[in-house]
Amino acid sequence: MPPYTVGDELTCSADGYPAPTYSWSVDGVDSSTESTQALQHGARQYICPATVTYGRGTTCSNTETATVTAYSKYKTQYNRIVTIPMLTALSLGKLAYYSFLK
């Protein structure tokens, strides 16, 4: 089983007062502003900047980057559902063809 499944969550955490804000991006596209980010299918780059804004607009921030590959937990089941009817249909067509030749 793959280590990560679509929907698993990455967590970004930072300490600060006032509480930090988060602004995840996935492959360069803005995403969650929560401390967690759900994994999407495939290999993706997740970037989480955490920022603390003090009085008078002073900010302190740090950014973490992770490249993670997540797999769909339904992929194997889907392939089996599609493959079995196709193989059955092919074998039935072959039987009908052979009985026509005899």
Q: Looking at residue 84, what is its pLDDT? A: 45
Q: How far apart are CA 33 and CA 22, in angstroms?
A: 5
pLDDT by residue (tens digit) across 69-102? 998 866 544 444 444 444 444 444 444 444 444 4
State the architecture of 1-71 in CATH terms: Sandwich (2.60)
Q: Has residue 20 got a pLDDT over 50?
A: yes
Q: Looking at residue 82, what is its pLDDT? A: 44
Mean pLDDT (whole number) for 15-29: 93
Q: How far apart are CA 72 and CA 40, in angstroms?
A: 9
Phi-psi domain of 56 (left: phi exceeds 0; alpha: psi -120 through 50; beta: other): left
Fill in the DSSP letter of residue 57.
G
pLDDT by residue (tens digit) across 28-76? 999 999 999 999 999 999 999 999 998 888 999 999 999 999 988 665 4
Q: Looking at residue 74, what is its pLDDT? A: 61
